[in-house]
Chain A
Amino acid sequence: MKLYLKFFAINLKSQMQYKATFLLNIFARVVMSFATVAGVWFMFMRFNEVEGFTLNQVLLCTAIIMMSFSLTEVFARGFDVFPRLLGNGQFDRFLVRPRNIIFQVLASQMEFARLGIFIQAAFVFIYAIPRSGVVWTRDKILTLFLMIICGSLVFFGLYLVYASFAFFTVEGLEFMNILIYGGREFGRYPFSIYGKGILKFLTYIVPLALFQYYPLLYLLDIKQNAFYMLLPPLSMLFLLPSYAFFRIGLRRYKSTGS
């Protein structure tokens, strides 16, 4: 942990060397996520509700997915640029250092400029939290936190899968975009609006709905069973197969080195 903070400091120091670029990047990200929010907003100017959710309820959902995604994007950046780490030999450097590989990938790359989405999400929270009609009890606040944290861990799992594929091929990783960026973009609405099939897929296979949809029902008092509170932690099980896949990829890399 202490070492992680050292890495944190050196990353921050590096990026502060280019303050103008840094601020420009943050701003670009704020604008980009604003476009998503504006899209939602425009839709609700025309339609008052979708699948029983109102604008303010949907915005809550939008902010949750954006915030959890941005945490992953900032802190798991190393897995996002993983093909590059393999290509420029930085990954080999990690292999000749006496530390855990995943730790090194996480610690060596943090992209604070990606906090732009986080900032935008915070604005949306400020707008939507008082208007969503939720009575913010201790349990509800806890649920909200679990949704964000576990959400970013599920996204981290997806990044791990993405990186694992990079061990096998440098091309064609784009299909992971539908899960990673698709998860973020389509997660702006509660996943139930896409129908039962999609919801099942996002419950049992890639558990994005476990931290986004079900606990949202609990927040909004549509479901009162406290079980829904525990679904976000359950979604972290996704990390197990992701990690296993990464190990397989790593073993292959060590035998081909390409």
Chain B
Amino acid sequence: MKKYAALFKIRFINGLQYRAAAAAGLSTQFAWGFMEILAFSAFYRANPAAFPMEFSHLVSYIWIQQAFLALFAPWGSGGDAVEAIVSGNIAYDLTRPLDIYNRWFIETAANRVARAALRCTPVLFVAFILPPPLKMTLPPSLFQLSMFVLAVPLGLCVVTAYSVIDSISTFYTMSRYNAIFVIMADFFAGGYIPLPFFPEPVRKVVELTPFGAMQNMPLRIYSGDIAGPDAVKGVVLQIFWFAALLLAGKMLMRKSLKRVVSQGG
């Protein structure tokens, strides 16, 4: 366990080095969230009755999404692993006394946490002091808040497990571009528009998939858009998908490594 903690720490420090990048990311995410809210408010003005969420819930959704973008966005975190496979350096990794799956999982998660850690506080701070209707609100109850606190790490675990599977698939495609996986996850997890804005039948199906267990869950639990028993069900669903993706990933990794070894790297 200690070596994984060390691994996490190295990655984390590495992520902290990029001060200017963090500042730039911050302003980008802030501006991005601002524009998103403006766009949704135009639709709200057009037909308030058709709006599937409370507007304040949506505002919180967008600000948390921007604040935790690096945590939940499915892209841009498996770079090193993919590079290791394509370049063949994976053979070298195999000689280390670390389980490769665990290592990739930790590294991917640490990258995400490091980048999000720098960015989330300022974005949230600004979001809280904005004038309404842009202002972010507190969760409606302590219960929702505690469910949110549970749902964030679980969401991270689900999206990381998904990313690692994506990286492992490089063994088969041998290409640096598995963009389709990423785009699918981004879209169905509510990265483009939140799931409540999807047409009803599509939403119902997507909410049951692993995509629904990623950012969708914490972001909607926070504001109370998913409340009470639904929130509990949501967290259980997250645990289920995390376990399923973890298992699938480990199995896939074992199979792929056998392939690598039998091919002699």
Partner-B contacts on A (CB < 8 A): 20-21, 24-25, 27-29, 31-32, 35-36, 38-39, 42-43, 45-51, 169, 171-175, 177-178, 182, 186, 189, 193-195, 198
Contact = CB atoms under 8 A, between A and B. Distances in A.
Contact of B19 (A28, A38, A171): A171
8 contacts: A35-B192, A45-B199, A46-B197, A49-B46, A172-B24, A173-B24, A174-B28, A178-B31
A169 B20 contact: yes
B39 A178 contact: no
A177 B29 CA distance: 10
Contacts of B39: 186, 189, 193-194
A189 B43 CA distance: 11
Contacts of A39: 187, 192-193
A171 B18 contact: yes
B35 A186 contact: yes
Contacts of A169: 20
Interface in B138-192: 175, 177, 179-180, 183-184, 186-187, 192
B10 interface: no
A193 B24 contact: no
Contacts of B43: 43, 46-47, 50
Nearest to A29: B179
A24 B180 CA distance: 9
Given A24-B175, A175-B27, A194 B42 contact: yes
B32 A47 contact: no
Contacts of B179: 25, 28-29, 31-32
B159 to A, nearest CB: 17
B25 interface: yes
Contacts of B193: 39, 42-43
B31 A35 contact: no
A175 B50 CA distance: 34
Nearest to A49: B46
Given A21-B175, A45-B199, A50-B46, 12 more contacts: A24-B175, A31-B180, A42-B193, A42-B202, A43-B197, A46-B50, A46-B52, A46-B197, A46-B199, A172-B24, A174-B28, A182-B35
A31 B177 contact: no
B185 to A, nearest CB: 11
B38 A182 contact: no
B244 interface: no
A256 to B, nearest CB: 17
Contacts of A48: 46-47
A175 B30 CA distance: 10
A175 to B, nearest CB: 4
B42 A51 contact: yes
B94 interface: no
Nearest to A189: B39
A102 B38 CA distance: 37
A169 B20 CA distance: 9
B177 A28 contact: yes
Interface string B38-59: 1100110111001010000000
B198 interface: yes
A169 B19 CA distance: 12
A32 B25 contact: no
A67 B113 CA distance: 36
B236 interface: no
B47 A198 contact: no
A18 to B, nearest CB: 9
B21 interface: yes
Contacts of A27: 180
Contacts of B28: 174-175, 177-178, 182
Nearest to B186: A35
A146 B41 CA distance: 31
Contacts of B52: 46
B42 A193 contact: yes
A27 B175 CA distance: 14
Contacts of A194: 35, 38-39, 42
A52 B175 CA distance: 45
Contact of A42 (B21, B25, B50, B197): B197
Contacts of A42: 193, 197-199, 202
B199 A35 contact: no
A65 B80 CA distance: 33
